[in-house]
Copies of this chain bind each other. A is one copy, B any other.
């Protein structure tokens, strides 16, 4: 027995950690926090330390990351090295196990040598874990920022893409999410007084404003920053949405904001469904008919899966709701536990 394991998913905007192996807990303890790494990379090691302490620490750590894409790094190579440096600073006595897109763990030293093997491998961790219990499924992990569409066929992860660019091309990565996605990246126009209106190409509003306005998330779920630095009330979200058509709440009423928000939400669903359909076309008759839903944006995943005629199953039923929201962090912890116990 190795004692508790901490699993980490280090993103460019969010940090997720899951602790497993406590005898009195059958579900992992999970912490998620918004952490804009690109703005304060120097704080990463301190945030890692603090997060570990809040979870009670652990002597064994499993790491996956997407943070290497953050634009504070010139290349992925630089990003991977930076994240591993931060772990070394935060936990000098622990050599973390780093998960790769090949489904294997390696030491930090080995990971540094092959950075593209460990860059953006978090989807593989979640899918590998799901494949243990559901041998045929499409994993739909819709997070704050991106949506993963990962086929699992006959107990194996059947994704075609390995790098992010390949995954974007195959539909296995759809860059839209429940919170951080700028509205101007989702739609080019929205309905306004019965006609379509172009939107401003500005970072005026994000997906969180849309879903908060529509009541699909609560203020407490709006964990990313607001574009204008104001609050997360429905009124403030509505003002941000009005600004997308260069208007304000003195010009538009609630009904107009709702029509705009519904249009944007529907566009996100269509975008994710487009990724699902691309994966379904590639797999043909072998494609699973069950979608397993994970992440903070299960409401988007559900709608997209239903649009594609899939049966939905919530990953929370299998691993608990906290672990399903922070799926890659819990997954690397569970997968490492398998290796360590062997």
If over half of A's interface residues share one DSSP class (helix, strand or loop), that class is named, otherwise mixed; here it is loop
Binds B, one of A22-30, A70-78, A128-136, A214-222: A70-78
Q: Is the CB of A120 within 8 A of B246?
A: yes
Given A165-B247, A192-B165: A201 and B228 within 8 A (CB)? Answer: no
Cβ proximity bits A228-244 to B, threshold 8 Å, 1 near / 0 not? 10100000000110010
Neighbouring B residues of A228 by C-beta, 8 Å: 38, 71-72
Name A184-228 residues within 8 Å CB distance of B.
184-186, 188, 192, 195-204, 227-228
Q: Is the CB of B200 within 8 A of A203?
A: no
Cβ proximity bits A58-91 to B, threshold 8 Å, 1 near / 0 not? 0000000000010110111100000000000000
The answer to whether A138 has its CB under 8 Å from any CB of chain B is no
Q: Could you say which of B173, B174, B200, B250 contacts A77, with CB atoms under 8 Å apart?
A: B250
Q: Is the CB of B243 within 8 A of A71?
A: yes
Q: How far is the CA of A203 from the CA of B145 in the complex (A)?
A: 12
Q: Could you say which of B75, B173, B192, B200 contacts A248, with CB atoms under 8 Å apart?
A: B75
Neighbouring B residues of A200 by C-beta, 8 Å: 69, 168, 175
Given A71-B228, A182-B201: A168 and B250 within 8 A (CB)? Answer: no
The answer to whether A262 has its CB under 8 Å from any CB of chain B is no
In this complex, the interface size class of chain A, counting residues with CB under 8 Å from chain B, is 35 or more
What are 7 A-B contacts with C-beta separation under 8 Å? Answer: A72-B228, A76-B251, A165-B247, A168-B198, A173-B198, A184-B184, A184-B185
The answer to whether A176 has its CB under 8 Å from any CB of chain B is yes
Q: How far is the CA of A30 from the CA of B186 in the complex (A)?
A: 37
Neighbouring B residues of A174 by C-beta, 8 Å: 198
Q: Is the CB of A176 within 8 A of B201?
A: yes
Given A76-B250, A169-B195, A169-B196: A71 and B227 within 8 A (CB)? Answer: yes
Residue ranges of A at the interface with B (Cβ–Cβ < 8 Å):
38, 69, 71-72, 74-77, 120, 145, 163-165, 168-169, 171, 173-177, 181-182, 184-186, 188, 192, 195-204, 227-228, 230, 239-240, 243, 245-251, 271, 275
Q: Is the CB of A251 within 8 A of B165?
A: yes
Given A182-B182, A184-B184, A204-B71: A246 and B198 within 8 A (CB)? Answer: no
Q: How far is the CA of A204 from the CA of B248 in the complex (A)?
A: 27
Q: How far is the CA of A251 from the CA of B249 in the complex (A)?
A: 46
Q: How far is the CA of A275 from the CA of B169 in the complex (A)?
A: 30
Neighbouring B residues of A181 by C-beta, 8 Å: 201
Q: How far is the CA of A251 from the CA of B165 in the complex (A)?
A: 10
Neighbouring B residues of A227 by C-beta, 8 Å: 71
Distance to closest chain B CB from A163 (angstroms): 7
Q: How far is the CA of A281 from the CA of B188 in the complex (A)?
A: 20
Q: How far is the CA of A165 from the CA of B198 in the complex (A)?
A: 8
Q: Is the CB of B198 within 8 A of A243?
A: no
Q: Is the CB of A201 within 8 A of B185?
A: yes
Q: Is the CB of A248 within 8 A of B76?
A: yes
